[in-house]
Structure 1
Amino acid sequence: MDSRSHASPQQVLPARHRHDGTWRFTVPPVEGSVPWVRHAVRDLLRRRRAHLGEDLMFAIELVLSELVTNGVRHAALLTPEIGVEVTLRDGRLRLAVEDGHPYRPRALEAVPDRHDTGGRGLLLVKAVALETGGDCGVTPTAAGGKVVWATLPLY
C-alpha cells in the first residue's frame, strides 16, 4: 500500500487526530480484489489506531465491498486497475474507489425502483453513509472515469 500521510512523524497532532492521513493503492479489476481491499483497509485502520467500534468496522467493510465490487463488475473492460483511497481526517473516514468507466451510477441519487434489481448495492452504501451521519457521491475524473466515494464519522 502506498502511504502518503499528511502528518510527518515530527508533527505533534492532538491524540484524537494522530491517525490522520491519506493512503492510496490500486488493485486489478478481479473478484479477488474485493476481500483483499477489505482486509487491507481493516489492517490499515488498526495500524493507524483509528477508534472504530465493531458496528462501524462492519459498515466500512460493507461500503468497501460494494464500491470495489461495482468497479470489478461494471468497469473492468475499461479499467486496468481500480484505485482505492482511504483518508482519515478530523474524525472522519473517506473511502473512494476510482475506475476508468465513464458511466456515473445514479443509484446514489435515486429512490429505489421496486422492480429494478440493479443498483441496490449503491443504495445500501447511501443508506449506511447517511445513517452514520456521513455522505456519499460520484465525482468525474479528468481522464473520463469516476470516483465513487463515501464518508463516515469515526466518533
Structure 2
Amino acid sequence: MQLEIRPDPAEVGRARRWARSRLAGSGIAADEPLAENLVLLVSELVTNAVVHTGCPAVLRLFLSAGPAGAITVRLEVADVSTRAPVPRCPGDESTGGRGLALVDGLADRWGWCPEGVGKRIWCELDRCATTVDATETAVASNCGRTTPAYEGLAYGVYGVYGGLAYGAV
C-alpha cells in the first residue's frame, strides 16, 4: 500500500487519514495504541519529508502477521534527498528538531537506507499476540524485546554500495 505525497504541508493530514483507513481495513482499531502511535509516526516522517526536501515523497505501509495474531506494521517514507536523517538536540525554546527522538521513542525499530536518487526512512511497530485486559494501564510496545541504541537512539542503516550489501543495527 502506498500514497504519493505532494510537497505541501496539507499532505500531512491526508497521509494520517490514509494510514488510519488502511489500518482499519486490516482490523486494527483506531483507538489501539499501535494505531495511535503509527499515525503519529506517519505525521512526523511525512512532515520531515515535505519540510526538508520540498519535493514529492512516497508513503508506504506494510502489515505482516506473525504467530497467534502478532502483527508488525512497517512504515516507510521515500524522498529524493540524499541527506541522512540526523538526530538533533534542540534547546528548550526550539519549536522543532525533536522528530527523530519521537520516532525513536515510539517505534520498536527504525532506520534509513539509500533508495535510488534519494533515501527511505522506515520504522516498525509490533502488536503482540497477547490480548490485554482493559484494566491494565500500560503495555510494552516492543513485546519484551530491547532495541539496540547508538547515543540513546535505536537505528538501522542498510544499503548497497558498489554491488556489496552492508548494514548495521
Q: TM-score, normalised by structure 2?
A: 0.66
Following superposition, the deviation at residue 87 of structure 1 comes to 0.2
Given the alignment of the two structures, is residue 100 of structure 1 paired with residue 94 of structure 2, yes or no? no
Match of 2:39 in 1: 61
- Tell me which residue corresponds to 1:19: none
Distance change >3 Å, CA 58–CA 51, structure 1 → 2: closer
Instruction: State how far apart, in whole Å, the 2-side matches of 1:141 and 1:60 are.
Output: 22
What runs of 5+ residues in structure 2 fail to find an aligned partner? 66-70, 129-169
Cα distance, 1:113 vs. partner?
Answer: 2.9
Structure 1: gaps of 5 or more residues? 1-22
Distance 1:106 1:114 in 2: 12
- SS of residue matched to 1:151: strand
Please identify the structure whose Cα radius of gyration is greater. 2
What percentage of residue pairs aligned between the two structures are identical? 31
Tell which has more relative contact order, 1 or 2 (C-alpha 8 A, sep 6+): 1
Q: Deviations over 1:83-115 (max 9, x none)?
A: 0110001310000101101111121xxxx5354
Q: Which amino acid aligns with 1:99?
A: D
**Of the candidates 100, 107, 127, which is equivalent to residue 122 of structure 1?**
100
Match for residue 137 of structure 1?
111
Q: Higher helix share goes to which structure?
A: 1
Match of 1:86 among 50, 58, 61: 61
TM-score between the two structures when normalised by the length of structure 1: 0.71
Task: Work out whether residues 86 and 96 of structure 1, in 8 Å CA contact, stay in contact via their aligned partners in 2.
Answer: yes
Aligned pair 1:27/2:5, yes or no? yes
State the Cα RMSD in Å: 1.9
Number of residue equivalences:
121
Q: Equivalences for 1:5-44 in 2 at 5 Å?
A: 23-44=1-22
